Amino acid sequence: MNQSNTMKEIPEAERPYEKCERLGAGRLTDVELLAVLLRTGTRGENAVSLARRILYNAGETGILGIHQFSMERLKKIKGIGRVKAIQISCISELAKRLAKASYSNTLCFSRPDTIARYYMEDLRHEKQEVMKLLMLNSKAKLIGETNVSKGTVNSSLITPRELFIEALQKDAVSIVLMHNHPSGDPTPSREDMLTTKRIQDAGALIGIELLDHIIIGNNCYISFREEGILQKGF
């Protein structure tokens, strides 16, 4: 597809709107899909060319790189102002919510794979480590979730006291910890092990069971429960 300044200069059969109508959205390239959602280009540049530049700025990750764009970074791309930065941010958020919603009916807290799938899009694109606390009732139903830390998951920074205050306020019977590794490798670190041990021991004293600690990587995860780490007592 050429770098025409206006959509009218692109052959009609190659224009994203017409192509989608004729062949379906599944036949559009990533660039064409983004161009349709952007609707318009900028001065001297059509939406297709602008979409191509945006994905080029995303680097080797391509369309997944959109999740990494902050509003500030988007505005640094020539032709992206306030409105288009908002559009792209909303596209990214919509994609995350669609992915999460598609797994909502399969979520089961006795199955780590369903938990990991449900929260995968929330966490795998984060540039920093984020730890979530999932609180469950006596029927293992989710009654609350909260972020307990952002940054390196460090056993000295995450205090069981603050974590369990939150769980007690919700009348939680059990909890699940979850955090991401921005590197994409979910292998537990020494700090991950120490943090989990401290929280498991504290929960045992007050009667709130730590069911699992799940670490999210790039489309992969590790469950302490599945790996038998919790049962082994470290």
* 143-198 pLDDT, tens digit each: 999 998 877 655 445 778 888 999 999 999 999 999 999 999 999 999 899 889 99
Return mean pLDDT, the chain. Answer: 86
Question: Distance of CA 111 to CAs 139, 141, 184, 225, Å?
Answer: 14, 13, 21, 10
Question: For the packed helices 30-38 and 16-23, what is the interaxial angle rounded to 10 degrees?
Answer: 110
Q: Both tokens of residue 86?
A: 């908002």
Spell out the residues 6+ positions from residue 174 whose beta carbon is closer than 8 angstroms to its own.
136, 140, 208, 209, 210, 211
- Of 10-19, 44-53, 105-114, 220-229, the range with the lowest mean pLDDT is 10-19
Which class for 80: exposed (0-12), middle (13-18), buried (19 or more C-beta within 10 A)? buried
CA nearest to 206, candidates 167, 233, 170, 234: 167
CA torsion, ordered 37, 38, 40, 41, to nearest 10 deg: -140
Stretch 2-7: mean pLDDT: 50
For the chain, domains (ranges, CATH) are 7-100 (1.10.150), 103-232 (3.40.140.10)
Q: Does the pLDDT of residue 135 top 50, yes or no?
A: yes
Model's pTM, two decimal places? 0.69
Phi-psi category of residue 204: left, alpha or beta, with phi > 0 → left and psi -120 to 50 → alpha: alpha
Q: Report pLDDT digits (tens) over 100-125.
A: 777 777 788 889 999 999 999 889 88
How far apart are alpha carbons 77 and 181 in whole angstroms? 28
pLDDT score of 176: 96
CA nearest to 38, candidates 100, 68, 83: 83
Q: Does the pLDDT of residue 223 top 90, yes or no?
A: yes
Secondary structure E strands in the chain: 130-136, 142-150, 174-180, 209-216, 221-223
Q: Both tokens of residue 118?
A: 């449900």
Which class for 20: exposed (0-12), middle (13-18), buried (19 or more C-beta within 10 A)? middle
pLDDT score of 199: 93
pLDDT score of 68: 79
Q: Both tokens of residue 102?
A: 């598609």
* CA Rg value for the chain: 22
Question: Distance of CA 122 to CAs 29, 97, 142, 192, 216, Å?
Answer: 25, 8, 17, 20, 10
Q: Report pLDDT digits (tens) over 8-35.
A: 667 777 788 888 889 999 899 999 999 9
pLDDT score of 153: 56
- Of 19-28, 52-61, 77-86, 188-197, the range with the lowest mean pLDDT is 52-61
